[in-house]
Amino acid sequence: MSLTRESCLALDAADPLRGFRDRFHLPPGVIYLDGNSLGPLPRDTPARVARLVEQEWGQGLIRSWNTAGWIDAPARLGDKIARLIGASPGEVLVADSTTVNLFKLLAGALALRPGRGTILSVEDNFPTDLYIADGLGRMLDGRARLRLVAPDAVEGAIDADTAVVMLTEIDYRTGRRFDMKRITAAAHQAGALALWDLAHSAGALPVDLAGSAADLAVGCGYKYLNGGPGAPAFLFVARRLQAEWRQPLTGWLGHDRPFDFAVDYRGAAGIRQNLVGTPPMLSLAALEAGVDLMLEADLSAIRVKSMALGDLFIALVDQELPATGLSLAAPRDAARRGSQVSLRHPEGYAIVQALIARGVIGDFRAPDIARFGFGPLYTSHADIWDAVAALRAVMAAAAWGDERFRRRAAVT
Amino acid sequence: MSLTRESCLALDAADPLRGFRDRFHLPPGVIYLDGNSLGPLPRDTPARVARLVEQEWGQGLIRSWNTAGWIDAPARLGDKIARLIGASPGEVLVADSTTVNLFKLLAGALALRPGRGTILSVEDNFPTDLYIADGLGRMLDGRARLRLVAPDAVEGAIDADTAVVMLTEIDYRTGRRFDMKRITAAAHQAGALALWDLAHSAGALPVDLAGSAADLAVGCGYKYLNGGPGAPAFLFVARRLQAEWRQPLTGWLGHDRPFDFAVDYRGAAGIRQNLVGTPPMLSLAALEAGVDLMLEADLSAIRVKSMALGDLFIALVDQELPATGLSLAAPRDAARRGSQVSLRHPEGYAIVQALIARGVIGDFRAPDIARFGFGPLYTSHADIWDAVAALRAVMAAAAWGDERFRRRAAVT
């Protein structure tokens, strides 16, 4: 029996998360399937940001570091995110960008594994993860080096020189999911640490850092946590590693007693040692609004709906778009997939642009991936129907051949 | 002839910058002399932030990286700040925190001076500058080390092992100003580089990086630039150094072509190589509003008024507060002072708290410094009179002995 728009509407009517869609500002005429690049604006966020700007900054001025809880925000927000990723209070901190946090954690991991110099990862990892590991290796004059293998070869490649295995749980292009628990166990068996990038996991599916015995993690605030453009990132250091933990970005707010203004650095006990400079409070306020909204939802319901949206998208592509040259780049098995579906086509860039012109916003990832992300709190089943219908129209009209859609902008 | 409140009001009436005071939100009942810790809220800022949140993020979504100019913001804002610090377009970038930027610049400086291992600074430097230099040295396993000397001994201490002289132009406690041009020349004569921390300079006085032949600089967005709590910081790399420049925090946005998602890192030409992760756009929007306001003012008028406010404060302390145990910690010569005056007293902490209880907000810096900062765009001469009058009342009543004022909060 074929799928119809009516059957999609029926799925929406039965969706236990349907009430969350109205908690977001979604512009009319837009089907937004790019929340894995920048999550949409929660309706509560503008007032939260305005309160920080007008009341806390404008009225409270410098006093708000104490009275409005600014100084505690990185750890408070870290504790909230911990609930989304299977971590405990005191194991997560909001700070800096994902890239800067990767530098801290990789350097800290190398210090915990003296005599080992390999950072093991995969070519498909997000480039910034690879770049920062490479930069760290160069800085250490060869004491550390990045080694890249194929995704299926990771477990077999962990050896006695591996200090840390660094992987992104969900591949940013294909949505393929690594088995965090199994790879972490393999790393531990070889005496290595496991560092997980949760950029496409946190808020998209339940992450179980504790159950996976993960050592270290980083993640992104502006994708599924809906924290706003360039929202601060987070980092996780398992409590069992914290006593011996040392990272090189020793800034004043990571000092045990920053307001003593002592000449010598003494790192704070616990996760706070990973704080560096003064946190950008406006951006933290928006992130906190996004995280608070996410905490209202049930993560297992999010995962169930996310898998259903992906399965529906794939089924509709199969049904509506046979023989168009589009091929599935994502795993068919929802359990092995994050909250996105990717399609390959040599004209992927122009196809994505033609879709955007019709109000369906996905994104393109080089060389040939059209990527569609699903935010289970706001994406409906009817959105999926409408997006595939737009894709069918683009392919039928060969709209991607239109010269307008073939010019590349700075950000795609 | 003694100074009176009326003479202060007459100075305000003749102040060419007096129109700027109304461009800030200053809470009633508060005299704010802590803009050197957190500048007050410009009146234009809430609307600028709301536009970014509600229009650019809420309506534009991911498209705003191109259409709203987000992707260019770090360099665009850097070019604006360049005009305040005597730099050229393409030499300044807004990114990360001051501390993270110091790490990039110190590591980059060491790479430009192979065979030299000394980072030379002073004990009085702001702690985060010392901590990050120390952390870098430890990370490099002794290939670099921080050496601290007395402020007057800096020039004599520069030697053949000095890779970089790292100083904060204006001492955060005393307001003492280093001679940037003379010390930079001494560094160059010995083959070393000069890195200047402009945290208490940018927006407070005209900085002449080009005229001083400075090599590198960092600075803060949330003090005299009025960019809001934890506003992003900036960094400067002189154009003549950029061709060979390499810094270790190699993130995707510093790549020559970030949206190629290439496996190998290739740093962008020019200042953009120093970008690491995705910038926190809400905080950048607020910073841009603060910088735009600052650019409306004449920097030499700012300096003239700043010196006059400091001289007035010192004259009033002399006149109104003889024999109270308060001593001047700042240079009497305005030319050798930043836009602040500091007083020493063994009970400095409690005195500052008693002043805050009376609506006069300055701050305390360990061990014994009561610090009063002047924002020439919004601080009036009458503010100075009223602040000193409040200080006289506190000292006369020995109000600092009050138990309420002696407890230390987390942030002071």
User: Phi first, then psi: what are they for A185, rounded to 5°?
Assistant: -65, -40
Q: Which chain B residues contact residue A265 at CB under 8 A? A: 127, 130-131, 134-135
| Four-residue CA torsion sign, B164, B165, B170, B172 | positive
Query: Average pLDDT for residues B160-184, to the nearest whole number?
Result: 98
Judge whether B197 counts as a catalytic residue: yes
pLDDT tens profile A120-130: 999 999 999 99
pLDDT tens profile A92-143: 999 999 999 999 999 999 999 999 999 999 999 999 999 999 999 999 988 9
What does the CA dihedral A108, A112, A114, A118 come to, rounded to 10 degrees? -60
Residues B389 and B339 in one domain: yes
Q: How far apart are CA B223 and CA A278, in angstroms?
A: 12
Whether B58 maps to a domain, the answer reads no
Q: Which residue has the tokens 């077999």?
A: A156
- Measure in Å the smallest separation between the Cα of B85 and chain A Cα atoms: 22
Q: What separation in angstroms does the CA of B135 have from each of A355, B199, B247?
A: 49, 20, 16
Residues A227 and A347 in one domain: no
Instruction: Check whether B159 has a pLDDT greater than 70.
Output: yes
Q: How many CB pairs under 8 A join A and B?
A: 288
Q: Residue B412's pLDDT is what?
A: 45
Say if residues A380 and A15 touch (Cβ distance below 8 Å): yes
From B296, B326, B344, the end of a domain falls on: B296
Interface test with A, best of B33, B57, B119 (most A CBs within 10 A): B57
Contacts of B195 (CB under 8 A, 6+ apart): B102, B105, B106, B109, B164, B165, B166, B167, B214, B215, B216, B217, B218
pLDDT band at A165 (very low <50, low <70, confident <90, very high): very high
Structural element, H or E, at residue A8: helix A5-13
Residues B241 and B336 in one domain: no
Q: Which of A70, A141, A222 minimises the CB distance to B229?
A: A70
Contact A281 B230 (CB under 8 A): yes
Q: Which chain A residues contact residue B365 at CB under 8 A? A: 261
Interface test with B, best of A56, A139, A141, A255 (most B CBs within 10 A): A139
Whether B338 maps to a domain, the answer reads yes
pLDDT tens profile B23-46: 999 999 999 999 999 999 999 999
pLDDT tens profile B53-67: 999 999 999 999 999
User: Other CB atoms closer than 10 Å to residue A167's CB: what's the count?
Assistant: 23
The packing angle between helices A98-112 and A127-139, to 10°, is 50
Contact B228 A62 (CB under 8 A): no
Q: Mean pLDDT score of chain B, rounded to an integer?
A: 96
Would you give the distance in Å from CA B301 to the centre of its chain? 19
Q: Which of B80, B305, B337, B371 is catalytic?
A: B371
Residues B395 and B264 in one domain: no
Structural element, H or E, at residue B365: strand B363-365
- We report the CATH number of the domain holding residue A206 as 3.40.640.10
Q: Which of B20, B32, B103, B222 is catalytic?
A: B222
Asked if the peptide bond before residue B280 counts as cis, ω within 30 degrees of 0, the response is no
Q: Residue A127's pLDDT is what?
A: 95
Q: Which chain A residues contact residue B100 at CB under 8 A? A: 96, 100, 249, 251, 276-277
pLDDT band at B141 (very low <50, low <70, confident <90, very high): confident
User: Phi first, then psi: what are they for B250, rounded to 5°?
Assistant: -85, 90
pLDDT tens profile B321-372: 988 899 999 999 999 999 999 999 999 999 999 999 999 999 999 889 999 9
Rg (CA), chain B: 22
Q: Mean pLDDT score of chain A, rounded to an integer?
A: 96
Residues A326 and A215 in one domain: no
Residues A183 and A245 in one domain: yes
> For chain A, how many residues are written?
412
Q: Residue B142's pLDDT is what?
A: 83
Q: Residue B398's pLDDT is what?
A: 83
Residue B41's SS3 state is: strand
- Measure in Å the smallest separation between the Cα of A252 and chain B Cα atoms: 5
Q: Which of A59, A62, A229 minimises the CB distance to B70?
A: A229
Q: Which residue has the tokens 């900085």?
A: B207
Instruction: Check whether B400 has a pLDDT greater than 90.
Output: no
Instruction: Check whether B409 has a pLDDT greater than 60.
Output: no
pLDDT tens profile B272-307: 999 999 999 999 999 999 999 999 999 999 999 999
Contacts of B275 (CB under 8 A, 6+ apart): B74, B93, B95, B251, B253, B254, B268
Q: Which chain A residues contact residue B98 at CB under 8 A? A: 277
- Report DSSP letters for A392-408, one per residue: HHHHHTTGGGSGGGTS-
Q: Residue A294's pLDDT is what?
A: 98
Task: Locate the chain B residue with the closest alpha carbon to A129.
Answer: B251
Q: Residue A397's pLDDT is what?
A: 86
Residues A263 and A366 in one domain: no
From B256, B271, B296, the end of a domain falls on: B296
From A275, A296, A317, the end of a domain falls on: A296
Q: Which chain A residues contact residue B277 at CB under 8 A? A: 96-100, 128, 230, 233
Between A260 and B52, name the one with better pLDDT: B52
Residues B284 and B306 in one domain: no
The packing angle between helices A381-396 and A348-357, to 10°, is 120
Q: Which of A49, A100, A229 minimises the CB distance to B249?
A: A100
Q: Residue A409's pLDDT is what?
A: 57
Q: How far apart are CA B233 and CA B221, in angstroms?
A: 5
Q: Which chain B residues contact residue A38 at CB under 8 A? A: 57, 61-62, 65
Pairing of strands B118-122, A92-94: unpaired
Q: Which residue has the tokens 């870098």?
A: B136
- We report the CATH number of the domain holding residue A35 as 3.90.1150.10
Residues A255 and A312 in one domain: no
- Report DSSP letters for A131-194, one per residue: HHHHHHHHHTTTSSEEEEE-GGGHHHH--TTEEEEEEESB-TTT-BB--HHHHHHHHHHTT-EE
Whether A308 maps to a domain, the answer reads yes
Contact B71 A410 (CB under 8 A): yes
Task: Locate the chain A residue with the closest alpha carbon to B257.
Answer: A410
CA proximity to A184, closest of A153, A149, A215, A145? A215
Query: Average pLDDT for residues A336-343, to the nearest whole number?
Result: 98
Q: Residue B19's pLDDT is what?
A: 98
Contact B276 A130 (CB under 8 A): no
Q: What separation in angstroms does the CA of B315 have from each of B131, B281, B301, B309, B322?
A: 37, 43, 21, 10, 11
pLDDT band at A412 (very low <50, low <70, confident <90, very high): very low
Residue A384's SS3 state is: helix
Considering chain B, what percentage of its residues have pLDDT values greater than 70? 98
Contact B61 A361 (CB under 8 A): yes
Tell me the residue range of the domain where B394 lies: 5-42+298-405
3-class secondary structure per residue, B91-151: CEEECCCHHHHHHHHHHHHHHHCCCCCEEEEECCCCHHHHHHHHHHHHHCCCCCEEEEECH
Contact A127 B71 (CB under 8 A): no
pLDDT tens profile B230-286: 999 999 999 999 999 999 999 999 999 998 889 999 999 999 999 999 999 999 999
Q: How far apart are CA B158 and CA B319, in angstroms?
A: 42
Judge whether B104 counts as a catalytic residue: no
Residues B248 and B353 in one domain: no
pLDDT band at B405 (very low <50, low <70, confident <90, very high): confident
pLDDT band at A401 (very low <50, low <70, confident <90, very high): confident
Q: Which of B63, B139, B230 minimises the CB distance to A278?
A: B230
Residues B199 and B321 in one domain: no
Whether B116 maps to a domain, the answer reads yes
| Count of domains observed in chain A | 2
Contact A37 B62 (CB under 8 A): yes
Q: Which residue has the tokens 């005393």?
A: B174
Whether B66 maps to a domain, the answer reads no
pTM: 0.97
Q: Residue B268's pLDDT is what?
A: 95
3-class secondary structure per residue, B236-292: EECHHHHCCCCCCCCCHHHECCHHHCCCCCCECCHHHHHCCCCCCHHHHHHHHHHHH
Whether A53 maps to a domain, the answer reads no
Q: Which of A52, A252, A411 minimises the CB distance to B65?
A: A411
pLDDT tens profile A236-254: 999 999 999 999 999 999 9
Contact B46 A53 (CB under 8 A): yes
pLDDT tens profile A354-387: 999 999 999 999 889 999 999 999 999 999 999 9
CA proximity to B268, closest of B250, B285, B283? B250
Whether A249 maps to a domain, the answer reads yes
pLDDT band at A411 (very low <50, low <70, confident <90, very high): low
Residues B254 and B314 in one domain: no
Q: In the sheet that A92-94 helps form, which strands lie side by side, from edge to edge?
A: A92-94, A234-237, A216-219, A193-197, A162-168, A118-122, A145-149
Whether A278 maps to a domain, the answer reads yes
Q: Which residue has the tokens 């929340």?
A: A35
Angle, vertex CA B47, rays to CA B45 and CA B50, nearest 5: 110
Q: Which chain A residues contact residue B249 at CB under 8 A? A: 99-100, 103, 132, 135
Say if residues B244 and B229 touch (Cβ distance below 8 Å): no
